[in-house]
Amino acid sequence: MTDSSSWDWSIGKRQIADITQWKETFGYVEEPYVSPDGEKIAAIIKTEDMEFSVCENGNAWENAFDKVWFLRYSPDNRLTGIVSDTAEWTLAVEGEAWENKYDFAWNTIFGRDGKSMLLMTQADGEYSVLINDVPWEETFPYMTNLAGNADATRAAAVAQTIRFSEGDIFAFQKGCYTVAVDGKVWDTNFVNVYEPVFSADSAHVAAQVRTSLYDYTIVVDGEPWPAVWPWVWKAAFSPADGSVTAPVKTPEGWTLARDGHVFWGQRFAQLWHHVYSPNGMSIAAIVAPKYGHWTVAIDGNAWKKTFNDLVTDLVLSPSGRRAACAGKENDRYTIAVDGTPWPFHCDMAWEPVFSPDEQHVAAKIEKDGQFTVAVDGKPMKAQFKNLWNPVFSPDGEKIMIRAIEGSGDKETYVRQVLPLTEILG
Amino acid sequence: MGEPASKIEVKNIKDIGLDEGAARLTPERIEKVINEVIDNETGARLKVYVDTCVHCGLCSEACHYYLSNDKNPVYAPAGKVKQTLWEIVEKKGKVSPDFIRRAAELCYTECNLCRRCAMYCPFGIDVAYMMLTMRRICHKLGVIPQYIQDTAQSHSATMNQMWVKEDEWIDTLFWQEEEAAEEIENLRIPLEKEGAEVMYSVIGPEPKFRAQLIYQAAVIMDVAGVDWTMPATPGWDNSDMAMYTGDNEMMGRLKKEHFETAMRLKVKKIVMGECGHAFRSVYDMGNRAVGWKMPPVQMVHALEFYYDLFKAGKIKVKEKYDKPVTLHDPCNVIRGRGLHEMARYVVNKVCETFIEMTPNREHNYCCCAGGGVINCGPPFRDKRVYSNRVKADQLAATKKKGVEVCIAPCHNCHGGLEDIIHHYKLGMELKFLGDIIYEVMEKPE
């Protein structure tokens, strides 16, 4: 996790950048991105020579490129972008391109502390992975579904191991895909493989597979579960005991299976995106108890409140005792916490954030083209042209707002730390 | 006009997917699979349809296959059900591999699932549903035409229908952005822009064969001032041939990927390009396969999007398109969604002379490519073209009135009509509506 204790948590508002000035200086300015600590804001720009570069807090990178895209901050506040120079692609960190370059590079993944980062690469039609500028030795005819372990020092991806011609439907059905972990493939091929995932200790990898056109199961470290189902979704490892769970479709409905056996007694019209509490003692999932009615189930028990459009962005509190999600009904969003929706609707709601002490929940919301933050169901009075997800202080008593202020064409980026009481009263 | 269909040999078509698939069947497996599907996946709807049909034949005159094949009852909608599901239900699954081989060819290549016949049935029986049930059985039995099965397998491996790899997709967008920026300075195709109003989604053939459509859409978005984005991940493709092979689980997986991409990007709506079958998947079948009664993120077809832009005055016409045009109404967005008047509003906005083909709107004849029929590939091309002589007649009648261009706001319709125009030597141009909007709209100098 990111250690935010060293960040500036003194109460007050600081203007970090005048975006209007950037636009006057550079002309071409893409949408900005903000560092997790709120101290930096950056956007892709074009130079006078019509090359791409990056402006951070008003200062352009010294280097310019043929193209920059996927500008993102790492959790430790380093600015990265995927860059191309004379048709060679790689990752640039703080303006400096990595040495290894490819015909294409994409899908940057960061470790949770930001120290390590990885991305997918392609050169001469061969696909591989680059971790901290160190490439895998192995390459494959195709790779997809890239995943990193928690600290992004290891990677897994779906890899094609057998080439086949387009139209050779029977070769495909024999199985041409498996999982590559740190470049090493599992022994068995499958018809399809989806969404590899690492265990909490990074020692194991599980994935969904289709073993024929009709049978799905979960494979852990290359070993399929003994049972198959007509449909499964993404697996997850228990942080407590390393067991593997996945949603599976039984004749009676969707439920959760563990290590190859049905685990939950309840059945649902749909069940997906299950998540563990950090201690592994609790599992939450997005479920539809009835067709077209969406909610959250904790350890198989669904909230009474349901949403007719969707439920998304399910999060558990640090201890797993509380859960929150975004829900949409009749085309309007809200946040629901522990089964109770907040008392308003908005045009969009972002992933809710628990305070470290679990006492509070905050979320970015949008209404009528204006953005604000709501805490425990109460929106701030201030509205912004845009903002990023709120961040709680380590003691849970303050909240950081990272926002674009201004009216008309004027836009400034401000970093504000507020006592929670200012919002909650 | 073209030659009568009855003189053309369209029988004994070889297809490795159908032939080898059927060769692997045993009567026991057929019976087991059929009864599993009938017992577990169908219900009152199928029973009511089977029990209610009085074989009146009113559906026949609705079907372009029947009409184009000299009213051969083999091609009548009720006749197609008789040759497939009725027989299966009556015999409780005790049918032969040869029967399945023929039923598969019929349900995949002799019905476009266009639902025109349902409008003419006194009971509203949806023959398309029954053909889809037959396809589901054929999928479970592994008897599927090679080309469309290959497309479904592409979906399963790449989440798009054209084996487009992750990097190829992104690179194509960069290429189109670069080209378009030569026409309009600093034009962007914004990738992965979280919080944009609109996610624009397309079908696999656009980056593969028709990249200029992405270019044109980018210009339209830019000029109209739309806050938009496109994903740089799988989930960008809204199309769905798994829906048409009968692989319902893959259909659900595709739609989950598509809608969750939009949810991740926090867009308020998905605007999709001019595609009909994809609309059926995102608005009806695919979303419902996973439990979303309606699209979880608002889904706007290009026709509705263009209409909204013109209504709001966000696109202005520099000079109307001067060639006389007609409009082909794609089944899935007209019978399936009722966008016909919006389409006409836009056509009249951008074209000087619009001449209707007859019949039109929800009564229009299918292009004979839809329902995955064109995706069954070259082996079935001739049958498809000969089986839509009525469409050729429709187009020829508009040509006599002076039409030079047919607008077809759907990819599969384009493919089907191209073949028809060529085969029947109609000498018409074929365009997407976006082609014409792009051509006539005011753009920055």
Sheet containing A223-224: order of strands: A192-198, A205-210, A216-220, A223-224
CB B174 within 8 A of CB B405: no
Residue B2 is predicted with a pLDDT of 44
Three-state SS across chain B? CCCCHHHCCCCCCCCHHHHHHHHCCCHHHHHHHHHHHHHHHCCHHHHHHHHHCCCCCCCHHHCHHHHHCCCCHHHCHHHHHHHHHHHHHHCCCCCCHHHHHHHHHHHHHCCCCCCHHHHHCCCCCCHHHHHHHHHHHHHHHCCCCHHHHHHHHHHHHHCCCCCCCHHHHHHHHHHHHHHHHHHCCCCCCCECCCCCCEEEEECCHHHHCCHHHHHHHHHHHHHHCCCEEECCCCCCECCCCHHHHCCHHHHHHHHHHHHHHHHHHCCCEEEECCCCHHHHHHHHHHHHHCCCCCCCCEEEEHHHHHHHHHHCCCCCECCCECCCEEECCCHHHHCCCCCHHHHHHHHHHHECCECCCCCCHHHCCCCCCCCCCHHHCHHHHHHHHHCCHHHHHHHHHHHHCCCCEEECCCHHHHHHHHHHHHHCCCCCEEECHHHHHHHHECCCC
Let me know if residue B419 belongs to a domain. Answer: yes
Distance CA B134, CA B65 (A): 18
Kindly state the average pLDDT of the residues B36-52: 95
- What is the rounded distance in angstroms from the CA atom of residue B208 to the CA atom of residue A21? 41
Residues in B touching A160 (Cβ below 8 Å): 157
Question: With the C-alpha atoms ordered B112, B113, B114, B118, is the resulting torsion angle positive or negative?
Answer: positive
Establish if B157 touches chain A: CB-CB under 8 angstroms: yes
B287, part of any domain: yes
Same domain assignment for residues B362 and B234: no
Q: Are residues B157 and B305 in the same domain?
A: yes
Task: Give residue A408's pLDDT.
Answer: 84
Any A CB within 8 A of B266 CB: yes
Which of the residues B150, B165, B189 would you substitute to probe the A interface, choosing the one with the greatest number of A C-beta atoms within 10 Å? B165
* Domain finish residue from B144, B169, B190: B144
Q: How confident is the model at residue B11 (pLDDT cuts 50, 70, 90)?
A: confident
CB contact under 8 A, A167 and B146: yes
Query: Is residue B386 located within the same domain as residue B289?
Result: no
What are B174-229's pLDDT values in tens digits? 999 999 999 999 999 999 999 999 999 999 999 999 999 999 999 999 999 999 99
| B203 φ, ψ (degrees, to nearest 5) | -105, 160
Residues B246 and B343 in one domain: no
Q: Do A166 and B163 touch (CB under 8 A)?
A: yes
Q: B249 and B136: one domain? A: no
What's the Cα-to-Cα distance from B175 to each of B137, B171, B181, rounded to whole Å?
Answer: 42, 6, 10
Do residues B255 and B367 both lie within one domain?
no
Q: What is the pLDDT of residue B5?
A: 43
- B352 touches A at CB < 8 Å: no
Yes or no, beta carbons of B263 and A310 under 8 Å apart: yes
| A106 contacts chain B (CB < 8 A) | yes
A270 min Cα distance to partner chain B (Å): 6
Q: Does residue B211 share a domain with residue B175? A: yes
**Residue B366 belongs to domain with CATH number:** 3.40.50
Which residues of chain A are within 8 Å of residue B139 when distances are taken between CB atoms? Answer: 213
Residue B320: inside a domain, yes or no? no
Residue B318 domain flag: no
Q: What is the pLDDT of residue B151?
A: 98
Residue of B nearest to A250 (CA): B40
pLDDT of res. B3: 47
- The b-or-e profile of B422-445 (16+ CB within 10 A means b, else e) is ebbebebebbbbbbbbbebbeeee
Name the token pair of A92.
């640039």
Alpha-carbon distance B59 to nearest alpha carbon in chain A (angstroms): 33
Q: Which residue type is seen at B352?
A: E
B317 within a domain of the structure (yes/no): no
Q: Is the pLDDT of residue B7 over 70?
A: no
Classified as helix, coil or strand, A420 is helix
**CB-nearest partner of B191 from A69, A213, A308:** A69
Instruction: Tell which of B108, B123, B144 closes a domain.
Output: B144
Mean pLDDT of the residues in chain B = 96
Q: For testing the chain A interface, which of B33, B171, B249 should be mutated: the one with the most A CBs within 10 Å?
A: B249
Q: What is the pLDDT of residues B396-440, one digit of tens each?
A: 999 999 999 999 999 999 999 999 999 999 999 999 999 999 999
pLDDT in tens, A373-404: 999 999 999 999 999 999 999 999 999 999 99
**Chain B positions in Cβ-Cβ contact with residue A272 (cut-off 8 Å):** 256
Instruction: Encode pLDDT of B339-360 as tens digits.
Output: 999 999 999 999 999 999 999 9
A294 touches chain B (CB under 8 A): yes
Question: In this structure, what CATH number is given to the domain that contains residue B52?
Answer: 1.10.1060
Q: Which residues of chain A have pLDDT under 70?
A: 1
Say what the ipTM of the complex is. 0.98
The residue of chain A with its CA nearest to that of B155 is A192
| B276 shares a domain with B332 | no
The answer to whether residues B159 and B254 touch, using CB atoms and an 8 Å cutoff, is yes
Number of domain units in chain B? 3
C-alpha A350/C-alpha A358 separation (Å) is: 18
On whether any CB of chain A is under 8 Å from the CB of B192, the answer is yes
- Of B144, B172, B207, the one marking the end of a domain is B144
Residue B4 banded pLDDT, cuts 50, 70, 90:
very low
Angle (deg, nearest 10), helices B211-224 and B166-183: 50
Q: Note whether residue B319 is domain-resident.
A: no
For position B6, what pLDDT does the model report? 46
Do B217 and B336 lie in a common domain?
A: no
For B301-327, the pLDDT digits (tens) are: 999 999 999 999 999 999 999 999 999
Asked if residue B354 belongs to a domain, the reply is yes
| pLDDT of res. B1 | 44
Interface of A with B in 24-43 (CB under 8 A): 27-28, 30-31
Domain span including residue B293: 151-311
* Same domain flag for B89 and B174: no
Residues 6+ apart with CB under 8 A from A150: A111, A112, A198, A200, A202
Distance from CA of A273 to the nearest CA of B (A): 11
User: Which amino acid is present at A402?
Assistant: R
Instruction: Say if residue B297 is in the same domain as residue B230.
Output: yes
Q: Does B166 touch chain A (CB under 8 A)?
A: yes
- Classify A423 as helix, strand or coil: helix
Rounded to two decimals, what is the model's pTM? 0.98
Is residue B246 a part of any domain in this protein?
yes
- Quick one: B186 and B272 in the same domain? yes
* pLDDT at site A2: 75
Among residues A243, A300, A251, A244, the alpha carbon closest in space to that of A271 is found at A300
Residues of A in contact with B232 (CB under 8 A): 69-70, 106-107
Q: For B75-102, what is the mean pLDDT? A: 97
Burial class (CB in 10 A: 0-12, 13-18, 19+), B108: buried
Instruction: Assess whether pLDDT exceeds 90 at residue B8.
Output: no
Q: What is the b/e burial string over A75-105, where b = at least 16 CB atoms within 10 angstroms of the residue's CB?
A: bbbbbbbbbbbeebbbbbbebebbebbbbbb
